[in-house]
Structure 1
Amino acid sequence: MATACAALAAPAHAEDKPLWELGIGAGALVLPHYRGADQSHVWLLPVPYAVYRGELFKADRDGARATLFDGERSELNLSLAASAPTRSEDNHARQGMADLSPTLEAGPVWNYTLLRGDDHRLDLRLPLRAAFTVESSPRHIGWISNPHINLDQRWNDWALGLQTGPLFADRRYHAYFYDVREADVAPGRPAYRAGAGYAGWQATAALSRSFGDYWLGLFVKADQIAGHAITDSPLVRERQQFSAGVALTWVFARSSRLVPSPD
């Protein structure tokens, strides 16, 4: 998922940068079919690069968000997140079941700055997002929240982001991924009804650097499935998971207008 990380105030090392930038590149991702799956996708795909440094709306390596409230240490943003699709015929645990459509999540996230310096910032982030399937007839599939601590640290041209925290979701969200209906019962796959609540925790590390007209980024994520809401589902085959990705993009267009930015 993507979360908001807009600066509350321009730090001492802020510099003027283009209002917007556009680019294109390529990336590779290794992602589990879904949380709890024992199989993974390897995605090789084009990577669009878009940065916008507006006062009310921002889009950068931390995702797209609109600032709804901005105080000295506290801000309220609107953020987005997404997940990839899974074809059940490609997944052993879900053979014969309905495919998992890609999902889009949207909702508010409240950020509170715990610590801030010229080259670092530590935030508490409390998001709450509604999840929808991305298909011809989109469906609302529930609510999800992943409160977490986020640290952004800079060393010259390098930017490091670290975050960790638990995950919670309502029954409807868990049902989309982990329910097994009577019609889907099979050997080794008994009927199951997921619950609501705690679903484990995640920790992510991301590293990026801009050099000239190019931007390089990579991330690794550890995911621990836990909690009574989903762990007993026969679709949970792996409780400890890892994912990773890397991307290289070429920035081919920039705004002539410059704005203060801590990026």
Structure 2
Amino acid sequence: MIKTRPRIAALILCSALFLGLSPQAAAEKLPQWELGAGVAGLMLPDYRGSDEVHSYLLPVPYIIYRLEWIKADRTGIHSKLLHREQAEVNLSLSATPPVRSKNNRAREGMSDLKPMVEIGPSLDVHLWHGDGRRFKLDVRTPVRAAFTVESHPRDAGVSLSPTLNFDVAGIGGRPWQLGMLAGPIFATRRQHQYFYGVPEIEARPYRPAFDAHGGYAGLQFLVALSRRFEKAWFGAYARYDTLRGAVFEDSPLVRRPFYVSAGFALAWIPLQSSRMIERDD
């Protein structure tokens, strides 16, 4: 089923974050700012382990502003808190969409899942690069604190998701950008309990009470492909997570031992700065 209207701003944020999954080219001169708009199509399970999948077609903004020390782009807002030849510390941002429990069989009768925003530092270590930085191999270790998006935001725990990232700028001599990553996910009890815990008061014969613990939350694998045209940008991604061995694997809310999501985005970029700056992103 395609939903043509966004449920709330968090879905648009998820779409905008997806736009930045693919790598950027190596050092080059880029406009200081770019402004445009586009559309994103997403296929998302309600949460990792859910067997309820929805598709969304959403409008998304395309806004980039580049400075030496801070950058607002398709991945959110970044500030290089520390930069060395072999490592740097960046800000990392992520988001999850809301879930209405009345529309999810596993969660029927439970409290809704509010949209969530995660933010925190990421230590990025550059392991190897070749062919003028066309190929890059990095280790990234984002540690993010999560908060619900509502009138009174709540602490939703902390996650750690170290990944091995391999980026290729220019495939087959063409300006396609390829990004691949893989790595484990860990989170605190508070976050796992928010998604997978079943309080006694919400337990049912088909849904026994469950107390989630902190720790290992599965493995993620992601591949993304993008290309910049003169006045447009296209990107697509696919992600697969396995939840085998996760500390919440036995929760009655885990209906599938895996998570699959995918999406595409197309943006038109009619406006850009005449001033060019050199960036190595």
Q: Which letter maps to 1:165? A: G
1:59 pairs, out of 69, 72, 79, with: 72
Q: Which letter maps to 1:35? A: R
Alignment of 1:151 with 2:166, yes or no, is: yes
Shift of 1:83: 0.7
Which residue of structure 2 lines up, in the alignment, with residue 110 of structure 1?
123
Q: Which letter maps to 2:220? A: Q
Q: Distance in 2 between matches of 1:162 and 1:62?
A: 16
Alignment of 1:39 with 2:52, yes or no, is: yes
Which residue of structure 1 lines up, in the alignment, with residue 103 of structure 2?
90
The size of the alignment, in residue pairs, is 259
> Bigger CA drift: 199-208 or 59-68?
59-68
So what's the TM-score if we normalise by structure 1?
0.93
So what's the TM-score if we normalise by structure 2?
0.87
The aligned runs of 1:213-228 (5 Å cut-off) are 213-228=231-246
Q: Secondary structure at the match of 2:58?
A: strand
Q: Which letter maps to 1:193? A: D
The aligned runs of 1:201-220 (5 Å cut-off) are 201-220=219-238
Shift of 1:182: 0.8
Please say if residues 93 and 235 of structure 1, whose CA atoms lie closer than 8 Å, have aligned partners that are also in contact.
Answer: yes
Shift of 1:98: 0.5
Please say if residues 21 and 224 of structure 2, whose CA atoms lie closer than 8 Å, have aligned partners that are also in contact.
Answer: no
Q: Which letter maps to 2:92? A: S
CA 1:42 to 1:243, structure 2 compared with 1: closer, same or farther past 3 Å? Answer: same
Shift of 1:216: 0.3
The aligned runs of 1:113-128 (5 Å cut-off) are 113-117=126-130, 118=132, 119-128=134-143
Q: Secondary structure at the match of 2:114?
A: coil
Shift of 1:132: 0.2
Alignment of 1:161 with 2:174, yes or no, is: no
Q: Secondary structure at the match of 2:109?
A: coil
Point out where structure 1 has 5 or more consecutive residues left out of the alignment: none
Alignment of 1:236 with 2:251, yes or no, is: no
When the two chains are superposed, the root-mean-square deviation of aligned CA atoms in Å is: 2.0
Shift of 1:15: 2.4
Which residue of structure 2 lines up, in the alignment, with residue 260 of structure 1?
278
Shift of 1:64: 2.9
Q: Which letter maps to 1:199? A: A
Shift of 1:61: 4.3
Please say if residues 185 and 216 of structure 2, whose CA atoms lie closer than 8 Å, have aligned partners that are also in contact.
Answer: yes
Q: Secondary structure at the match of 1:157?
A: strand
Which residue of structure 1 lines up, in the alignment, with residue 153 of structure 2?
138
Shift of 1:181: 0.5
CA 1:4 to 1:76, structure 2 compared with 1: closer, same or farther past 3 Å? Answer: farther
CA 1:16 to 1:80, structure 2 compared with 1: closer, same or farther past 3 Å? Answer: same
Alignment of 1:22 with 2:35, yes or no, is: yes
Shift of 1:68: 0.2
CA 1:110 to 1:123, structure 2 compared with 1: closer, same or farther past 3 Å? Answer: same
Q: Distance in 1 between matches of 2:179 and 2:95?
A: 19
Q: Distance in 2 between matches of 1:190 and 1:170?
A: 22
Q: Secondary structure at the match of 2:105?
A: coil
Q: Distance in 2 between matches of 1:48 and 1:250?
A: 10
Q: Secondary structure at the match of 1:125?
A: strand
Please say if residues 23 and 168 of structure 2, whose CA atoms lie closer than 8 Å, have aligned partners that are also in contact.
Answer: no
Shift of 1:177: 0.3
CA 1:83 to 1:36, structure 2 compared with 1: closer, same or farther past 3 Å? Answer: same
Q: Which letter maps to 1:205? A: V
Point out where structure 2 has 5 or more consecutive residues left out of the alignment: 1-13
